[in-house]
Amino acid sequence: MCGVVEAVGEDVADLGPGRLVCSAAFSPCDTCAACRAGAVNLCQDRENLCHRVWNGSFAEHVVLRRNMVFSLPDHVPPEAGAMAEPLSIAWHAARLPGDLAGLAVAVLGSGSIGLSCALVARHRSARAVVCTDLGPDKAVLAARAGADEYVDAAAGGAVNGVLAHLPGGADVTFVASGHPGVLDEACAVTRPGGDVVVVSYFPGPQTCAVNPMVSAELTVRFSALSTASDFAEVISALASGAIDPLPLVTHRFPLTRAAEAMRVLEAGPGAVGKVMLHCTGEGGEL
């Protein structure tokens, strides 16, 4: 989300009304060992926005805690500010394998997080970026995210498609989909000695063949959420224009049409990327 501060609590001295801000989706406890080390993404006592009695951001006003709010330069478009959170998740994931410059990257899953991973990989000078998803429609969005190639996994499979473009396998594979078998696919498209970074959550327990991972000496990492430093670097990249997520926005709706927006997000025809709700003004689909 992105919005303008309307009021602050009496203990908040560094933000005031009128300030453009974005937000994380959770508030860390600030007292555990992980929080004290700056790894707020690993806080086990965090509280999530839109959970239990904490109302979420599909509203004209939302109450946030100071430790989850990040100031934005005034020239950053609000829609770009709203994309800072998914971009921060991709930014954090892309830290884990180290320098991506000159590497071949595969992204399995081309939703908001997968496309954000592609954007960040391209920003970090990856040599080649190949994205996958089901159906041909996401090809346009993958290209907007900087992907060199897009693989329709419904037409011949993700593994064959990725390897056709990266014959030696990907140096780094980001798993941004929770479909059954995706971990085996990630192993199959990653070169021996390469890295697999799992960004996606899964609907339930997963099974995968571990022996091929052992034989290929893969490094499999799991990436959770993001930190304040990730947000700071993403905001810097947005402010400088080094990253532009706006081409991934395909639909805009006013808040009064939120139910319609959710239907488009779930099963909209054609290429559906980021769907934005505007709490002021009329919005409109693109």
pLDDT tens for 132-170 read 999 898 999 999 999 999 999 999 899 999 999 999 999
Per-residue pLDDT at 266: 87
Distance between CA 1 and CA 56 in Å, rounded? 10
Per-residue pLDDT at 269: 67
Per-residue pLDDT at 23: 95
Distance between CA 13 and CA 112 in Å, rounded? 34
Query: What average pLDDT does the segment 92-106 reach?
Result: 96
pLDDT in tens, 13-58: 899 999 999 999 999 999 999 999 999 999 999 999 988 889 888 8
Say if residue 285's pLDDT is above 90: no
Residues 65, 27 contacting (CB under 8 angstroms): yes
- Domains plus CATH for the chain? 2-87+228-244 (3.90.180.10), 97-222 (3.40.50.720), 248-286 (no CATH)
DSSP bridge pairs for 275: 251
